[in-house]
Structure 1
Amino acid sequence: MSTPVTAPATADPDGAEPRTFRRTTLDLGDAVLRPWGRADAEPGALLDSLVAAAADPLIALWNPLPARDHAAALTWLAAREDSWDQGTAAPFAVLDATGGTLLGCVNLRWTDRADGLAMIGYWAPPAGRGRGVIARATRAVTAWGFRTADARRIEIAHAVGNEASCRLALNCGYLAEGTLRASYRFGDGTYHDEHLHARLATDPEPAPVPVPASSPSPSPR
């Protein structure tokens, strides 16, 4: 969803910016969540994987990624680093802990920073689908946002037709709250209805996501 323009949060008396996302690495055991940034622009497998992800049909439909070539990918990475610098968003690359393969992306961003309202989104190329890793990454980033950045409410919005994203949101404890009609234009150029999910900082932690013994067929986002 698009981010509304909001007034900046007021600084604390000691000069620290409240509700700021600060760079960190989250370890899931079999996967590592690491901040995206310009360092990922070095020629190599990760940059190539980012370009390949942008060309994936499911990502192109539900999560259009402006990284069609290396130049566009570099611009995207620079914007991700800038958002970390400003504390306005926390875009994480989800990487396999052993080989460093790109498994996906989870991004937490403020939609109303002063009010503690944020939104989380995620996508996965084929290598990251059917493993439960994006669900576990989404849970980890959610808990981190509540714990370290004083988020009050975090939302997920996905196209009604994106059933896999709906399952993931529910699996991560994001309750369904309703349907937003013709609320967002996706990669097919059409405005789709979206399901809105949300978690509050006061909601109980959902049950753990089981790690599948084998990978089922890919699912969107």
Structure 2
Amino acid sequence: MDDVELTAPGLRLRRWRHEDAPAVLAALNEPAIARWNSQDVTDLTRAAAWIRWRADWSSGTRMSLAITDAADGRLLGGASLNQIHHGNASIGYWTAAAARGRGVASAAAAALTAWGFADLGLHRIELCHAVANPASCRVADRAGYRLEGTLRESHLYGDGRRYDEHLHARLATDA
């Protein structure tokens, strides 16, 4: 997995780099991201630690990529496969404020999903998001993830509250 680099129209998904720290710090402290993500990234030192953790794929159970603008390399967000085990995984993503509403998250999720099926041999990838986050529901739909149900108060989010979550999933055998 060390040399993974993916593309989608206008996007490049690549490994995290130390120089991403200032953009990561700004993005993860933006209220819309902080609400849904419980990251304690309050300064550049913690941003650098966050990047090192995200860039370490040695466990084989998770991998994370920076989503960048293909033209200028600007950081637009992040996407990851987590809980990789026995052909299953979960996917997560976030986008910086300037990248929202442009299809960045759904294009990145679709590219990472296709790679997971083709290169990792995954069979099922799940995507969960708070029901109170309808933008994430649109991302799931656009990336081809079918809604399977609602998980009641299943996750504690960055704002310290538990939310019901929608569970979406894709199978390698889905069209």
1:41 aligns with 2:38: no
Change (3 A) 1:41 1:22: closer
Residue type of the alignment partner of 1:164:
A
Q: Distance in 2 between matches of 1:153 and 1:66?
A: 30
- How many matched pairs? 175
* 1:160-205 deviation line (CA, Å, top 9, x unaligned): 100000011011111111110111011111111100000001000x
Q: Distance in 2 between matches of 1:127 and 1:75?
A: 24
Residue aligned with 2:58, SS: helix
The alpha-carbon deviation at position 79 of structure 1 amounts to 1.1
Residue aligned with 1:173, SS: coil
Q: Distance in 1 between matches of 2:59 and 2:157?
A: 27
Structure 2, unpaired ranges of 5+: none
Moved over 4 A (4+): none
- Residue 89 of structure 2: which of 118, 121, 130 is its match? 118
Maintained 8 Å contact 2:27/2:33: yes
1:27 aligns with 2:7: yes
Maintained 8 Å contact 1:155/1:198: yes
Corresponding residue number in structure 1 for 2:39: 65
Q: CA RMSD in A?
A: 1.4
The alpha-carbon deviation at position 22 of structure 1 amounts to 4.5
Corresponding residue number in structure 1 for 2:27: 53
Q: Distance in 2 between matches of 1:175 and 1:185?
A: 23
Matches within 5 A, 1:1-221: 21-36=1-16, 40-42=17-19, 46-82=20-56, 84-111=57-84, 113=85, 115-204=86-175
Q: Distance in 2 between matches of 1:165 and 1:175?
A: 13
Identity of aligned residues (%): 46
The alpha-carbon deviation at position 87 of structure 1 amounts to 2.4
Residue aligned with 2:55, SS: helix
The alpha-carbon deviation at position 63 of structure 1 amounts to 2.1
Maintained 8 Å contact 1:22/1:87: no
Q: Distance in 2 between matches of 1:60 and 1:142?
A: 24
Larger Rg: 1
Residue type of the alignment partner of 1:123:
W
Residue type of the alignment partner of 1:41:
H
For normalisation by structure 1, the TM-score amounts to 0.75
Structure with a larger share of its residues in strand: 2
Residue type of the alignment partner of 1:142:
T
Residue aligned with 1:79, SS: helix
Residue type of the alignment partner of 1:65:
Q
Q: Distance in 2 between matches of 1:104 and 1:196?
A: 22
